[in-house]
Amino acid sequence: MNILAIIGSPRKRKATDSLVDKAIEGVKAKYPDSMVTKINLVDYNIQYCKNCLTCRDADTDKPLSECIIKDDMAQIYEEILKSDALILGTPVHSGYVTALMMIFLERITWTFAKPEKRYLNLHGCPLPRSDKKRKSIIIITSGIVPPMYRRFCDWATGCIKGIVRDSLNAKTVGNLYAGDIEHRGVEYYYDKAYRLGTKL
């Protein structure tokens, strides 16, 4: 099994990074032969989506439509194509994913999806270009907001879950909201992150 971990934190080796590492430990404990690739988006040159819709409108049977932007996303696209499961981690900034994670999510939406899904009378929604099924887990960290207030300030989980479902054909099998890390410490959530990793 090929696992791809994507981290959208601007700070490496902090809370989000360490919880993703614990989830990877859980994966490796359950599936020792798994291959894990970890990507910190902050290390890559990823430009903003230009909303040109070239990728969306491309007539291709391939699982990936070409993006006109030539940057480090090309490497990440290849890792996504190889992946069987995903771990996505981001801090919440003002209740949402970080800018780094949002750029990544925007860039994968139409490169991996075609506008053929319908919701009631709404058509042209993202439908995965590939039939390959994946699993995903989502790790969200918050420095100050306790988990009991998650429903008021975590729009990140739903955003990630929807995009990986509609573009990458990934079913989210679990998520972790690690809240109030400033007072609880990130270690408080290590066991939960480890157990979450075993769900992949």
Structural domain boundaries in the chain: 2-198
- Residue 103: what pLDDT? 98
Q: Is 99 helix (H, G, I), strand (E, B) or coil?
A: helix
Looking at every residue in the chain, the average pLDDT score rounds to 96
Contact partners, residue 187, CB within 8 Å, separation at least 6: none
Express as a percent the part of the chain with pLDDT over 90.
Answer: 94
Q: Model pTM? A: 0.95
Q: What is the mean pLDDT of residues 132-148?
A: 95
Residue range 2-198, CATH number: 3.40.50.360
Q: Please state, in angstroms and rounded to a whole number, the distance separating the CA atoms of residues 51 and 106.
A: 9
List the one residue out of 165, 36, 158, 27 whose CA is nearest residue 90: 158
- Over the stretch 92-115, which tens digit does the pLDDT of each residue have? 998 999 999 999 999 999 999 999
pLDDT over 90 at 141, yes or no: yes
